[in-house]
Chains A and B, each alone.
Chain A
Amino acid sequence: EVQLLESGGGLVQPGGSLRLSCVASGLTFSGYAFSWVRQAPGKGLEWVSAIFDTDGTTWYADSVRGRFTISRDNSKNTLFLQMNSLRAGDTALYYCAKDRPSGGFGPWGQGTLVTVSS
């Protein structure tokens, strides 16, 4: 069974940084693309970033480009999201999710909560 487990969330002041991690198990990690998707409290889903498996190409939503960096360590089955210059609008539950070859995301982790507040 594929499982994803996020960590690294917490309370941070505006302008601060956090690094999220997502450890995957039950799959050949290097063979898949992964994404980060976030959900602000009581709001809908927003795709944040993706990293491909074949060449490590990365993609970002306009709202985070230049501030967030997605990366992966295939030797440790781990996905990362480095978040800098955090804003109140970045407050959300951050999910990592495996990209499915036929489209969409699944499975998802349980999420890690990021709160940006002074």
Chain B
Amino acid sequence: DIQMTQSPSSLSTSVGDRVTITCQASQDIGDYLLWYQQKPGKAPNLLIYHASNLETGVPSRFSGSGSGTQFTFTISSLQPEDIATYYCQQYGNIPYTFGLGTKLEIK
């Protein structure tokens, strides 16, 4: 199985900050990498697919990059509504696997 190592596990941030989350795959997954946002009590919501493609309707302050084994997710200027937990997921191989998540908190 492909292991997804996501960091940091939590991040204390301020509105307007640039936020960066990384995800490392245990083997080459090409660009088969997704990023989800999950707010408390809600199902996850897909933000980015194919490592860098923004899902329709997702604000442009969200972006993703990377390929192979190293990936980055960025929020260019954090907004209050972005407070959530973010997960990466690989879909290059079954079983699909997720990172452990990054919980964003306000300072």
Contacts and interface: CB of A to CB of B under 8 A. Distances in A.
Contacts of A46: 98
Contact of A104 (B1, B38, B49): B49
Contacts, number: 56
Instruction: Report the contact-size class of chain B (Cβ under 8 Å from the partner).
Output: 20 to 34
Interface residues of A, number: 23
Contact of B87 (A44, A108, A110): A44
Contact of A44 (B34, B45, B98): B98
Interface-central residue, B38, B53, B96, B101, by most chain A CB under 10 Å: B96
A81 interface: no
Grouping DSSP codes into helix (H, G, I), strand (E, B) and loop, the A interface class, with mixed when no group exceeds half, is strand
Contact of B43 (A60, A95, A103): A95
Contacts of B70: none
Contact of A102 (B36, B49, B94, B101): B49
Interface of B: 1, 32, 34, 36, 38, 43-46, 49-50, 53, 55, 87, 89, 91, 94-101
